[in-house]
Amino acid sequence: MQWDIVIGLEIHVQLATKTKIFSGTSTAYGAEPNSQASAVDLAMPGTLPVANEQAFKYAVMFGLAVDAEICRRSVFERKNYFYPDLPKGYQTTQLERPIVGPGHVDVELADGSTKRVRIHHAHLEEDAGKSLHEDFHGMTGIDLNRAGTPLIEVVTEPDMRSAEEAVAFARKLHGLVTSLGICDGNMSEGSLRFDVNVSLKPAGDETLGTRTETKNLNSFRFMEQAIHHEVERQMDILEDGGRIVQETRLYNGDTQQSRSMRSKEEANDYRYFPCPDLLPVELDDAFIEDARSRLPELPDARKARFQSDYGLTDYDASLLSSSARMAALFEETVSHGKDAKLAANWLLGELSARLNSEDRELADCPLTGGQLGALILRISDGTVSSTGAKKVFEGLWTGEGSDVDELIDAKGLKQVSDTGALEKIVEEVLAGMGEQIAQYQEADEKKRKKLMGGFMGPLMKASKGQGNPKLFNEILKKKLER
């Protein structure tokens, strides 16, 4: 049987405010456990929440960026459940009147087409603390530093039809919130977390099937794996005549397995009601216009500029503009290295491949745009060959050196571009290759090109790999066609 895959996402975006949404406690990552958990965050009796203006500004900026309606009068609700990482016994969130209404994001897919994903809404809420289950003699350790960190939860319509589409959307959203500067985008620290809703229906059917939710995926790779895994799991059940149970599942990226998380039905009865501790938040035109004036260049506009200013292809421009960090690294590299196309090739080729193979994010990239730019400059002025440049890159990456020119010298990678010296090598090599020379001179233009390779090998060998291949080529042609 043929099945349609239906995917919707919920994305928790940690807002990059200095303090929590309802208290003046710092949200800095990595502090000593519970050193950033104040009386309000701990739900001490008698405390009251006071809302952080910046969180609203960031939420409005997001809303404007996805072309959504902004709710002028938004209301907070209490979502009641008991868990030790939530000291109040409820999460302060929004249900009936979320701050961001329906909007949309256009996503470019690998085949060049564009897919519109509708945003159902985005609401403001507080994050919970962290539970640590190891090493406490059968107890659970609670760190409430994260409790009260402002989040927007972005909820999409079930508009995605494959894992690839879902990941493309997720990447686009990541690029959007980091470009807006409202989220640091650091997925390994949990700044952006994805919940994936997946259901299947017989191909062409109108009615949606029963969905499951896989929670807290914190890398694009795990997200893609989790969707493939869940689609297969549901397909197996349905094709065996079974039924899908609506449930929350957890995916373990290390074992590539998933399991059901919440079995009890009443756990989902949150008894929402308007929070009596918080008045409705009214946002006027001035507030919204101020948020609009803070909107920086967004990925789509940046992409167009990269194409017109740097002459990049549609594909390169799209990859380099999608994340704020990559775009900044590219522009810094070009400002030092001049050649934009070469810079694009190195960022999308060598650098991206290296990050992928080590499963690192660009934020952890050990190279600066200045270093990459210096390297690009040395490639374009012929100081190093592209093979040599890869060795310099390696040296920069591993921290063997930090200065491109010093690394080129230390590794003896400087290309010989002295025509006199190169000419001498060519003469010496050609002296022992009479047969090949004759062959070349008899060949037609097309064949000649091929035969050139036969000379380049011995030339590079004779120059210990340091001869400038471009110059070798020129000299060789002159000598052979004499």
**Which residues here bind other proteins, judged by CB under 8 A?**
17-19, 23-26, 32-39, 42, 44, 50-56, 73, 75, 80, 82-84, 96-97, 131-133, 136, 138-144, 261-263, 266, 269, 271, 274, 276, 278-282
By beta-carbon proximity to other proteins, the closer residue of 18 and 447 is 18
Q: Which is nearer to other proteins, 57 or 302 (CB)?
A: 57
CB of 163 to other proteins, least distance (A): 26
Q: Which is nearer to other proteins, 180 or 344 (CB)?
A: 180
> What is the closest distance, in whole angstroms, from the C-beta atom of residue 228 to other proteins in the complex?
24
Minimum distance between the CB of residue 216 and other proteins, rounded to whole angstroms? Answer: 14
Q: Count other C-beta atoms under 10 Å from residue 89's C-beta.
A: 11
According to DSSP, residue 382 is labeled T
> What are the backbone dihedrals phi and psi of residue 297, each rounded to the nearest 5 degrees, phi first?
-65, 130
Minimum CB–partner distance for residue 190 and other proteins (Å): 18
Tokens 């109108």 appear where? 206
Q: Which is nearer to other proteins, 14 or 52 (CB)?
A: 52
Residue closer to other proteins by CB (options 278, 462) is 278
Q: Report the distance separating Cα 341 and Cα 356, nearest Å.
A: 21
Work out how close the CB of 408 gets to other proteins at its nearest, in angstroms, rounded to a whole number: 47
Q: How far is the CB of 251 from other proteins (least distance, A)?
A: 15
Using CA atoms, how far apart are residues 356 and 403, in angstroms rounded to an integer? 24
Our CB check for other proteins shows the closer of 41 and 350 to be: 41
Beta pairing class for 130-132 and 77-80: unpaired
Q: How far is the CB of 76 from other proteins (least distance, A)?
A: 8
Is the CB of 42 or the CB of 244 nearer to other proteins? 42
The whole-angstrom separation of Cα 318 and Cα 58 is 25
Q: Which 3 state secondary structure label does DSSP give 89?
A: coil
Q: How far is the CB of 119 from other proteins (least distance, A)?
A: 23
Quick one: CA torsion of 21, 23, 26, 31, rounded to 10 degrees?
-100
- Residues forming a β-bridge with 9: 196
* In contact, 128 and 146? CB cutoff 8 Å: yes
Q: Give residue 414's region: left, alpha or beta (phi > 0; psi -120 to 50).
A: beta
- With beta carbons less than 8 A apart as the criterion, state whether 93 and 77 touch: yes
Structure tokens at 286: 């001035």
- 350-362 as b/e, with b when 16 or more CB fall inside 10 Å? bbeebeeeeeeeb
- Using only the alpha carbons of the chain, give its radius of gyration: 29
C-beta of 71 vs 327, nearer to other proteins = 71
Tell me how far, at minimum, the Cβ of 233 lies from other proteins, in Å.
19
Give kind and range of the element (H or E) at residue 196. strand 192-202
CA distance 32 to 146: 11
CB nearer other proteins, residue 28 or residue 438: 28
